[in-house]
Amino acid sequence: MQLDKIQSLDQQYFMPVFGNRTPVAFTHGKGMTLYATDGVAYQDFLGGIAVTALGHSHPVFTQALKNQLDQLLHTSSLYYIENQAALAQALVQCSCADRIFFANSGAEANEGAIKLARIHASKQGFTHKYEIITLVDSFHGRTMTTVAATGQEKYQKPYAPLTPGFIHVPINDLQALERAMSDNTCAVMIECIQGESGVQPVDQHYIHAVVALCKKHNAHFVVDEIQTGMGRTGKLFAYEHFGVEPDIFTLAKALGNGIPIGAVCAKEFVAQSFGLGDHGSTFGGNAFATCAGLAVLDILKNEDLVKNAQVMGEYFMQRLLSANLTKVAQVRGKGLMIGIQLTEPSAVQVKNALFEKGFLVGSVGTNVIRCLPPLIITQADIDAFVDAFTKIIEE
């Protein structure tokens, strides 16, 4: 189908929630490359917003899904599911978690984490402990409760009144956090690197202070790893950079490499608060989705892609910084989660110019370019991007 036909159908039948989409539709992909309906090739430096960590059409991943398609897709969790049990075990063995619950998305995983934190407090007899503190400019999802958790008014305003009990404090402002915490605090929920605010890392000292305050107030330390998890930052999970262990953390995006799946991961003392009937999901953790998760974990390990994210991320940052571009104010991030802050409000124009040169990136606000490429990226891929970016900035 040609692009104009796709656009016409979209405008007539799809709800208009995505604004002005980039005028392209893709038919297939291979590695770092996506191919459009007109045959033009694009280098994917956005990775489906940190989803396609393995790149496009990874042969081992694709074969695993094909094999599963021939066997079984879905039975519901009324029955035992081999892949579900195996993926839960695999995630526990490579993380600080003791138990896992599978959902269908990052928002659902964060909903599950919020419910788990609150029900644990309730079952301990602390029914007054329901407040959850999150950060200003955070992003935790699009459901009513995760919109309330998200510290951005633009996402919240149309849906008021929201789920009560959420307090938002500025990132890395310890005094503001101390003032917000009380005996009513059930949890503090953070992203180690905020993605939707322009790749804003949390300070090392701040995270350790968060952990200490959570212990002081008998509150849970919850980490949203939806965008940062599964090797994106050069560690399998971003919390590993800080030498801390969350009581609860959440996964999605790259866990399925394009197949919808989310996960609530928790330590035993809090996980046991979910009892019979306290939570559930029809599709969550079905045979197909958890097959994808198992394949992702195997490929990350067998191809050493987490290490590649670290090495290539350092190279990417070094290339950008050594270019000494006067219109770049800051380059920040970790691994292959990189934000390029411009000195002028020209992010959309730069993104569009990169698109014209065959590179896909994201823009955040008016002055940040966001890069979230597949973890299979090479130096040659980075060199090509930086050369194109440099020419655009200089022009």
Residue at which a domain ends, from 302, 333, 356 = 302
Residue 20 within a domain: yes
Query: What type of residue sits at position 7?
Result: Q
The pLDDT tens digits of the residues spanning 45-87 come to 999 999 999 999 999 999 999 999 999 999 999 999 999 999 9
Q: Is the pLDDT of residue 395 over 90?
A: no
Residue 193 within a domain: yes
Q: What is the mean pLDDT of the chain?
A: 97
Catalytic, out of 102, 139, 274, 316: 139
What is the pTM (predicted TM-score) of this model? 0.96
Average pLDDT over residues 107-132: 97
Q: Decide if 176 contacts 158 (C-beta within 8 A).
A: no
Average pLDDT over residues 342-353: 97
Query: Is 298 in the same domain as 309?
Result: no
Query: Is 207 in the same domain as 222?
Result: yes
Q: Decide if 162 contacts 147 (C-beta within 8 A).
A: yes
Residue 64 within a domain: no
List 34's β-bridge partners, or say none. Answer: 29, 42
Q: Residue 263 in 3-state DSSP? A: strand
Whether 139 is a known active-site residue: answer yes
Residue 172, Ramachandran bin (φ over 0: left; ψ between -120 and 50: alpha; else beta): left
CA-nearest of 250, 272, 254 to 263 is: 250
Residue at which a domain ends, from 253, 279, 302 = 302
Q: Which two tokens stand for residue 36?
A: 């459009």
CATH number, domain with residue 200: 3.40.640.10
Secondary structure of 287-320 in HEC code, one letter for each residue: HHHHHHHHHHHHHHHHCCHHHHHHHHHHHHHHHH
Catalytic, out of 253, 267, 334, 351: 253
Q: Decide if 94 contacts 211 (C-beta within 8 A).
A: no
Residue 60, H or E segment: helix 59-69
* Cis? peptide before 161, omega within 30° of 0: yes
Residue 66 within a domain: no
Whether 253 is a known active-site residue: answer yes
Q: Residue 9 in 3-state DSSP? A: helix
Q: Decide if 177 contacts 213 (C-beta within 8 A).
A: yes
Catalytic, out of 137, 224, 247, 381: 224
Residue entry with tokens 């974990």: 297
Question: Which pLDDT does position 12 carry in this prediction?
Answer: 96
- Total domains, the chain: 2
Query: Is 96 in the same domain as 229?
Result: yes
CA-nearest of 364, 366, 359, 233 to 300 is: 233
Q: Is the pLDDT of residue 19 over 90?
A: no
Residue 67 within a domain: no
Provide the H-helix boundaries in 218-286: 268-271
Residue 62 within a domain: no
Burial class (CB in 10 A: 0-12, 13-18, 19+), 101: buried
Percent of the chain at pLDDT exceeding 70:
100
Q: Which two tokens stand for residue 110?
A: 């964060």
Q: Which two tokens stand for residue 289?
A: 């989705």
Query: Is 287 in the same domain as 215?
Result: yes
Query: Is 321 in the same domain as 284?
Result: no
Residue at which a domain ends, from 302, 321, 340 = 302
Query: Is 253 in the same domain as 321?
Result: no
Query: Is 173 in the same domain as 281?
Result: yes
Query: Is 291 in the same domain as 319?
Result: no
CA dist 370 and 341 (Å) reads 9
Measure Cα distances from 224 to 30, 107, 133, 264, 291 in Å: 30, 10, 13, 10, 23
Query: Is 152 in the same domain as 163?
Result: yes
Range of the domain at 347: 3-57+304-394
Query: What type of residue sits at position 73?
Result: L
Question: If you write DSSP's letter for every residue of 120-173 in order, what string do you get?
Answer: HHHHTT-TT--EEEEEBT----SSHHHHHHSB-HHHHGGGPSPPS-EEEE-TT-
The pLDDT tens digits of the residues spanning 184-225 come to 999 999 999 999 999 999 999 999 999 999 999 999 999 999
Query: Is 202 in the same domain as 260?
Result: yes
CA dist 95 and 82 (Å) reads 20
The pLDDT tens digits of the residues spanning 281-335 come to 999 999 999 999 999 999 999 999 999 999 999 999 999 999 999 999 999 999 9
Q: Decide if 143 contacts 108 (C-beta within 8 A).
A: yes
Query: What type of residue sits at position 295?
Result: A
Query: Is 82 in the same domain as 224?
Result: yes
Query: Is 48 in the same domain as 113?
Result: no
Q: In the chain, what is the greatest distance between 2 CA atoms, to the nearest angstrom?
A: 63
CATH number, domain with residue 19: 3.90.1150.10
Q: CA torsion 270→230→286→101, rounded to 10°?
A: 0
* pLDDT tier at 348, thresholds 50, 70, 90: very high
